[in-house]
Structure 1
Amino acid sequence: MLNIIGTIFSGAIIGVLARFFFPGAVDMGLLATILLGIGGSVLAGWLAHRGQPGFNRAGCLASVLGAMGLILIGRLLF
């Protein structure tokens, strides 16, 4: 239970930092920000472990960069 709460909390912090450092306005709600942070962490962990399957969490800086990459991909696709 605490692992889930910790994941949500760290996802919120990482998502807010990614939105802050990304140039331009990023319009999304709290739930989308949390999911962005969690997704950025998973993406950075996956890239750091060279695409090996499994849930790998990365460091804070890599997670923020991964979340910023997800924002960029989202803007390019939509």
Structure 2
Amino acid sequence: MVSARPAHRHPGPTIPAINTSGGAMIGFIVAGLVIGALARLIKPGKQNLSIIATLLLGLAGSVIGGVIANLLGTGSIFELNVLGFIVAVIAAVALIGTAEAITGSRNRRA
């Protein structure tokens, strides 16, 4: 009698899943706020940015920091490590400076 079960096949290489649970997303948002706040403290002068702009620039900085840390082989993009955190803060400072330059040039024209 022939078995109706299909032959077992090796599944091949797997791609690790990114944890998108609510806790991970909240942690990512909190990290973005912390990185954005640190960047605003490090950047001299007064910044005319809202808390939402600080959050978004901090999130962008944390993604940049995670990507660079991942490229250097120190961990995953979403993994918290020292190098990624430092690069994220530096990137957020640069992003805040860019945002100030863009909004400052708009305010001077008006």
Offset from partner CA, 1:1-30 (integer Å, 9 cap, x none): 111100110001000000000011112121
Question: How much does 1:44 deviate?
Answer: 2.7
Given the alignment, which residue of 64, 67, 84 partners 1:59? 84
Moved over 6 A (4+): none
Show structure 2 runs of 5+ residues with no match.
1-21, 104-110
Bigger Rg, structure 1 or 2: 2
Match of 1:15 among 36, 53, 74: 36
TM-score, normalisation: structure 2: 0.57
- The one-letter amino acid paired with 1:19 is R
Contact 2:61 2:95 in 1 (8 A): yes
- Specify the alignment match of 2:55 in structure 1: 34
Q: Which moved more, 1:12-21 or 1:27-36?
A: 27-36
Q: Quick one: which amino acid aligns to residue 6 of structure 1?
A: G
User: What is the 5 A alignment of 1:42-57?
Assistant: 42-48=63-69, 49=71, 56-57=77-78
- The residue identity in structure 2 corresponding to 1:75 is E
| Unmatched runs of 5 consecutive residues or more in structure 1 | none
Q: Is the partner of 2:24 in helix, strand or coil?
A: helix
How many residues align? The count is 74
For residues 50 and 98 of structure 2, what CA distance do their matches in structure 1 show? 18
